[in-house]
Amino acid sequence: MEQFRLPKIPMPPLELPRAVQDVLSEAEAKLAHRPKLLKLFKNCFPNTLETTTKLMDDGTTFVITGDIPAMWLRDSVEQVIQYVPLAKEDADLQRIIGGLIKRHMQCILHDPYANAFNETANDWHWNTDDETDMSPLVWERKFELDSACFSIRLAFHYWKETGRSDIFDTDFKAAMLRIVELWKTEQSHFEQSPYRFTRDNGIPTDSLRNNGLGMPVNYTGMIWSGFRSSDDACDFHYNIPDNMFAVVSLRQMREIAEWVFRDMTLVKELKRLEDEVDHGIQLYGIYRHPEFGPIYAYETDGYGNYCLMDDAGTPGLISIPYLGYTTADDPIYQNTRRFALSKQNPFYYEGTQAKGIGSPHTPPDYIWHMALSMQGLTASTAEEKLAMIALLESTDADTGYMHEGFHADDPAKFTRSWFAWSNSLFSLLVYRAMKEGIL
């Protein structure tokens, strides 16, 4: 029941790759008329490389989440995603991102249920008495369906941006096969899964009910997940944004299997699983809301029970187009977006300084910078994108960085002063706005 703690010490800073330096120089020109925004961007865009990234002797890359000395599969992808478009002609970025992909495949092969890993097999853990099948390399073993999806997302986009296929080695294919095996098992969680997780720390959302199995679910074709992208336990274990992300990942793996590995048997297996999950989303994941019309639920159990909310973490309902499941003009997504950005969402808050989506992971009335960044990244108009950038700019509490959550009435009250994922997502929004010419 003891939580492991370490001092918050950044990784030794890497020398910034030339392509990253070029973007910072570009920002000097394009954001000169907005000195505070320029300062924020110059702090946040390289923050992952300057504080959280380590090149390992085996050719891999290890990326801590920030103020916790462990690498989350999900976080580490989003911490470097803004660098992927710059990697085609930059060997240093290729070493960093390619090394991170290789590290991810090693982690998935070690334990596909784990969400966060140590740099070495040092037996450090978030909680020392978790009841699950823990190993010394695993920091935390909360099964979150999105974890492996992010690993595939990074590899796919890196391949598409750079044309480099050297990341697709035997470990990569083995990890793909392990992911497929895992997801097929978790389609029938109660019948087939060996996974259990309980944590006796007095926090209900840190543990799975029903002796670590989770609450009962009906077969839907979707994939069971123990925890959300916030690391909080699911209420109903078919998380709809997670399953949408899995559909996208299966499409991406199918393309890799066909054009890189030339394995048509695997292509067919991936397509069959993709169709099963997508059918489950469309059949069980849409709720007929009396005010907003048909919307995507956040979670369901397949028995007709729904969790109607959105969380600031990715994947969430707002992030559906960002993940690539559908487009921002999809009518059901538009209904869902209106719901998520309304007081019908129990984690949407409005205050004197800001309005936006928070999370059960943080106190009431705390809005997340990541939610504002994602709202901007998925906005249909330049006006909304610019409004989100202005709101982010005005709520940093003059720290020069983004945070996790901040109070809607007082941005000086915030959680996590060093949260690299939030810095990166903000940077991606500003970078895309620069490229679109709207800043």
Do residues 141 and 115 lie in contact, with contact meaning Cβ atoms separated by under 8 Å? yes
Identify the band that residue 4 occupies on the pLDDT scale cut at 50, 70 and 90: very low
Please give the span between the terminal C-alpha atoms of the chain, in angstroms, as a whole number: 49
- Summary mean pLDDT of the chain: 96
**Does an H or E element contain 231, and which?**
none
pLDDT > 90: what percent of the chain? 95
* pLDDT tens digits, one per residue of 204-232: 999 999 999 999 999 999 999 999 999 99
- Which residues, in sequence order, are CB contacts of 383 under 8 Å at separation 6+? none
Q: Is the pLDDT of residue 153 over 90?
A: yes
| Ordered alpha helix ranges (H), 163-239 | 170-186, 189-192
CA atoms of 150 and 220, how far apart (whole Å): 23
Given a contact cutoff of 8 angstroms between Cβ atoms, the answer to whether 377 and 387 are in contact is: no
Confidence of residue 2 (pLDDT cuts 50, 70, 90): very low
**What's the pLDDT tens digit per position in 264-280?**
999 999 999 999 999 99
**Residue found under tokens 């590290």:** 103
Chain mean position to CA 354: 23
Phi, psi (rounded to 5 degrees) for 131: -95, 95
Q: Count CB atoms within 10 A of the CB of residue 265.
A: 8
Please report the pLDDT score of residue 3 as a whole number.
44
pLDDT at 97 over 50: yes
What pTM value is reported for the model? Answer: 0.96
In angstroms, the CA 255 to CA 275 distance is: 15
In angstroms, the Cα distances linking 377 to 12, 162, 303, 392, 426 are: 31, 23, 34, 13, 9
Residue 344 burial (CB < 10 Å; 0-12/13-18/19+)? Answer: middle
Summarised one tens digit per residue, pLDDT across range 394-414 is 999 999 999 999 999 999 999
pLDDT of residue 12: 83
Average pLDDT over residues 128-155: 97
Q: Three-state SS for 245?
A: helix
Above 50 in pLDDT, residue 103? yes
**Spans of all domains in the chain:** 18-436
- Judge whether residue 432 has pLDDT over 90: yes
Give the pLDDT score at 10: 83
* pLDDT for position 13: 81
Position 9 pLDDT exceeds 80: no
Averaged pLDDT for residues 91-118: 98
d(CA 37, CA 402): 12
pLDDT digits (tens, 9 = 90+) for 276-317: 999 999 999 999 999 999 999 999 999 999 999 999 999 999
Helix residue ranges per DSSP H, 300-368: 320-323, 331-340
Specify whether domain 18-436 bears CATH 1.50.10.10: yes
Question: Rounded to the nearest 5 degrees, what angle is found at the Cα of 256, between the Cα atoms of 251 and 257?
Answer: 95
Tokens of 112: 């596909």
Q: Report the C-alpha gap between 42 and 56 in whole angstroms.
A: 26
Could you tell me how many helices (H) and strands (E) the chain has, helices first?
Answer: 15, 15
CA distances, 278 to each of 111, 154, 272 (Å):
26, 22, 10
